[in-house]
Structure 1
Amino acid sequence: MIFYNNSRFSRLSISLLFGAVATLGASAPAVAKPYSPLTLSVSRIATFDAEVNNTGYEVQRDTWLFGVKSDIPLNQQWSISLNANYDKLDFDWSGRGAGLMAGQLSPWSSVDRYSAGVGLSYRPNQRWMFLFAPKIQYAYTEDASRSNAQSYGVVASGMYRFNNGNMLGLGVAYLNDISEVRTVPYLAVNWQISDRLKLGNPFSAGFSGPAGLELSYKLSDDIDAGVGASKRTQRFLVKDDNVAVEIDEWASFVRAGWVVNESLSLNGYIGYYFNGEMELSDPNHTDTLDNQLAMAFAAQYKF
């Protein structure tokens, strides 16, 4: 049991905890739709307070994520997908200090993030699958303008299917982010270890980091549980002229999932963020973030 003296966050944590227990959500293939032309998703993430070291501030983050995706098969070899997302990141600062980044930056209250992408998938035969997915994103605080907050990139991967149906491959994301260009390699895997145990990627690779790894266990046809980890990155414009902040951290989690029916799936998470850093691009300065607990829920509906 976790006790915390912030009553507002305690109520949120309790509701999310009950959500995590009640929404034992995931992906059981026994009842999943074989094809869904449109998928809607919504997620909520909340963290406990974390001290921003040497600044006198603590920060608590709440995030809403909304997404829509459409999959369009063109023929037996080619398919295309379209996706659009809107995320709202709220930052609740407490404490007193001269400012962040050695006094060079005032705390911000929220970040708006818009993104869209196209995915082109090609299967030349029964063994190989290739993906090419261009992406665009805008992420900015209330003190910056959206027109200056553009990022773009592309994710490419290749996967090989073995005789037993398992798939393994490599991918890379090339990202021309705000005031920084980076390349993120990742392992693409969909491996059924046994009838109940599976290793896969819990996230999509992109601006927020690599796809991560999750080991999941199927408790029944519609309930499963998993444990996983991935590196997560949030980069956004805080001032015009390409002045950006990047929050870089590792996230580990325990997940419980429930496929309610062939259309609706729910997931609840208890997570732990660690090795966090908050970096200002210009002038360059880094503040460290304390480790912190997080809770989340996610719902997905397939039409």
Structure 2
Amino acid sequence: MMNKLKGAVAAAALAVALPAAAQERTGWAAQVDGLSVWQDDADLDGGGAFSASRTFLRAGGLYRTPGGTSAGLFLSYGQLSYDFSAAGNRPWEDIRDIRLSAPLRLQLGETGRLFVAPQIRWDYERGASASDGRTYGVFAGVTWQLGDRLRIGPAFGAFSGLGSDGDTVFPALLVDWQIADGWTLSTGSGLGATQGPGLTLSYDYSDTVRLSLSARREEVRFRLDDAGLAPGGVGEDSSIPVVLALDYAPNPGLSLSLFAGAEINGRLKLEDAAGRRVDTQDYETAPIAGLAFRARF
């Protein structure tokens, strides 16, 4: 049974959306960004407690034309580590998250913009085969500028699944709305996020400092190794992370973020290699804190 299980801090600070550069440069630009998040002890429905940590690093390049079109290629690596209070009940330990993405943005006339981001992912426990944790998919959308303060449009995501989870297609809405001077309500994928955009309310305190409140629905599934409670099976963690962040951008090439918040409505699932449900467990609200950065050259 999964009575002493904590899922990944997977979604924790992944809702953090680092502030973009004040002015986008044309031509080639390299980019490196990453985050580190720590979760304090959290109680499980079946008893026991756990803590967890996550690191995520992404690097790549992006080419922008004067007309607004851009294309890029990014490779990322993440690891989620767990510390369970019961040594004899560890359904999974360290999970690896490798991604290859190729975002493309096209300008459509004077007000339209098309965004397409195909991606291949490998989510697997250390000791399992990376190929057994491979999934792929795309997130795409189109937006239009309506007036000086609002950009909005429809989007969708389509992703393959692991285990009993079949292909997933879901709708989304892309919004960038300056609701008042200094205040913006926007959607965005967020660094290290799983599927689809979250929602962020931000306030520009100054030219270099921004305060933001972000929330999103997260779900991540990963292939397990040949040991543990479900050899060769699939683990899943879903939750709603809510994060308050302080962003600092001293220049257009560097952004830093400190954040704290909580994962709420968390649920963990465990399936065996045949896709049969082994156990499901809810976990209580888990406090989180961490930092993130972005550097452009």
Q: Residues of 2 paired with 1:206 and 1:45: CA distance?
A: 11
Q: CA separation of 1:27/1:266 partners in 2, compared to 1, >3 Å: closer, same or farther?
A: same
Between 1:114-123 and 1:31-40, the stretch displaced more is 31-40
Task: Give the match's secondary structure for 2:32.
Answer: strand
Among all aligned residue pairs of Structure 1 and Structure 2, give the percentage whose two residues are the same amino acid. 21
Partner of 1:85: 76
Deviation per residue, 1:4-54 (Å, 9 max, x gap): xxxxxxxxxxxxxxxxxxxxx95376x555456111002001111222322
CA shift for structure 1 position 256? 0.6
Asked whether 1:49 is paired with 2:41, we answer: yes
Residue correspondences, number? 270
Aligned match for 2:208, one of 222, 239, 248: 222
Partner of 1:108: 92
Task: Give the match's secondary structure for 2:131.
Answer: helix
Deviation per residue, 1:188-240 (Å, 9 max, x gap): 11111222111112434997132111111111111110112111222111146
Aligned match for 1:138, one of 94, 101, 122: 122
Q: CA separation of 1:78/1:196 partners in 2, compared to 1, >3 Å: closer, same or farther?
A: closer
Q: Is the 8 A contact 2:162 2:234 kept in 1?
A: yes
Task: Give the match's secondary structure for 1:201.
Answer: strand
Letter in 1 for 2:35: S
When you count helix as a share of all residues, which structure comes out higher?
A: 1
Partner of 2:287: 293
Q: Residues of 2 paired with 1:205 and 1:160: CA distance?
A: 24
Q: Is the 8 A contact 2:126 2:225 kept in 1?
A: no
CA shift for structure 1 position 65? 0.6
Q: Residues of 2 paired with 1:194 and 1:210: CA distance?
A: 26
Deviation per residue, 1:32-90 (Å, 9 max, x gap): 55456111002001111222322x44221100010113211357264212111100110
Q: CA separation of 1:297/1:32 partners in 2, compared to 1, >3 Å: closer, same or farther?
A: farther
Q: Is the 8 A contact 1:27 1:222 kept in 2?
A: no
Q: CA separation of 1:28/1:171 partners in 2, compared to 1, >3 Å: closer, same or farther?
A: closer
Between 1:74-83 and 1:150-159, the stretch displaced more is 74-83
Q: CA separation of 1:62/1:206 partners in 2, compared to 1, >3 Å: closer, same or farther?
A: closer
Q: Is the 8 A contact 2:34 2:191 kept in 1?
A: no
Aligned match for 1:245, one of 235, 250, 267: 235
Partner of 1:120: 104
Q: Write out the 4+ residue segments of structure 1 that deviate beyond 4 Å after TM superposition.
A: 204-207
Partner of 1:21: none
Letter in 2 for 1:216: S
Alignment RMSD: 2.3
The aligned runs of 1:157-176 (5 Å cut-off) are: 157-176=141-160
Q: CA separation of 1:173/1:204 partners in 2, compared to 1, >3 Å: closer, same or farther?
A: farther
Task: Give the match's secondary structure for 2:108.
Answer: coil
CA shift for structure 1 position 110? 0.5
Q: CA separation of 1:124/1:274 partners in 2, compared to 1, >3 Å: closer, same or farther?
A: same
Letter in 1 for 2:194: S
TM-score by length of 2: 0.83
Letter in 2 for 1:95: A
The aligned runs of 1:198-213 (5 Å cut-off) are: 198-204=184-190, 208-213=194-199
Task: Give the match's secondary structure for 1:49.
Answer: strand
Partner of 1:12: none
Q: CA separation of 1:32/1:130 partners in 2, compared to 1, >3 Å: closer, same or farther?
A: closer
Q: Is the 8 A contact 1:212 1:230 kept in 2?
A: yes
Task: Give the match's secondary structure for 1:169.
Answer: strand
Q: Residues of 2 paired with 1:292 and 1:226: CA distance?
A: 20
Between 1:65-74 and 1:208-217, the stretch displaced more is 65-74
CA shift for structure 1 position 147? 2.0
Asked whether 1:149 is paired with 2:133, we answer: yes
Q: Residues of 1 paired with 2:172 and 2:242: CA distance?
A: 17
Partner of 1:71: 62
Q: Residues of 2 paired with 1:159 and 1:211: CA distance?
A: 14
Q: CA separation of 1:32/1:266 partners in 2, compared to 1, >3 Å: closer, same or farther?
A: farther
